[in-house]
Amino acid sequence: MTAPPTVNLRSLATVIRSKNAGPFRFTLDILFRDAETYRRLKTSGAITPELIAGLYRLPADRVTDFVWFDPGRALKITLVRPVSSGAPGDTDVYGAQQHAPLLGLELPTELLAD
């Protein structure tokens, strides 16, 4: 049995980024290419706080905000940083490279079909 076809999140979004949301959190922003793709992903339930927590190897309760923002065709996710910004062991003071786990996210193409 073969795996169902997938599409990478990068091909569905115009922007995937991260940034600090204070010294103890960072925010992920995903801005989708078009309203239809945004609507289908939002209603599919394919992207969840639990999925994001798994990508970041964090407990689900470390995802503090998970907001679908209709006017911007965007998903905004806030996570508690494993190490506060600038603390010993922090590898990304600005939180600008924390979006990397999202870049490999594969989603079933069937979510986008009629």
Q: Which residue in this structure is represented by tokens 């924390």?
A: 98
* DSSP states of 82-95: SS-TTSTT-S-TT-
SS3 50: helix
Q: Report whether 105 contacts 2 (CB < 8 A).
A: no
Which pLDDT score, from 0 to 100, does residue 114 have?
A: 62
Q: Where are the domains of the chain?
A: 6-112
Answer yes or no: is pLDDT of 3 > 90: no
Q: What is the mean pLDDT of the chain?
A: 93
Per-residue model confidence (pLDDT) at position 71: 96
Confidence bin at 55 (pLDDT 50/70/90): very high
* Span of 39-43, 80-84, 110-114 with lowest mean pLDDT: 110-114
59 burial via Cβ count (<10 Å: 0-12, 13-18, 19+): exposed
